[in-house]
Amino acid sequence: RLCRFLGQDLDDDAISSVVQNASFTAMRENPMCSSILLPADIMDQTKGQFLRKGICGDWKNHFTVAQSETF
């Protein structure tokens, strides 16, 4: 469906590659998808990871009550 929207034709091997490389695990291992290339003043690696767990709703475990009400 996405290929059709973009006006592109991909064979099954290319689609499988996209699916594999778009997985959370693959993105976490790919330096181009992480904040490792960002300067420390933008993303301080010592304060946490850019991609944490890949679990929907996990933000609730990290936000304060006030933050949860705001967002």
Instruction: Take residue 13 and report the two structure tokens written for it.
Output: 């091997």
Report pTM. 0.52
**Residue 62 within any structural domain of the chain:** yes
Going by pLDDT thresholds of 50, 70 and 90, the confidence category of residue 12 is very high
Q: Pick from 7, 2, 27, 12: which is nearest to 35 by CA?
A: 27
Tokens found for residue 2:
């996405």
Locus of tokens 């929907």: 56
13 pLDDT above the threshold of 90: yes
Do 28 and 34 meet the contact criterion of CB atoms below 8 Å apart?
yes
Does 45 map to a domain? no
Give the domain range for residue 9.
Answer: 2-38+54-70
Which tens digit of pLDDT belongs to each residue from 21-50? 988 888 888 877 777 777 878 877 777 777
pLDDT for position 32:
78
Position 46 in a domain: no
User: Does residue 56 have a pLDDT over 80?
Assistant: yes
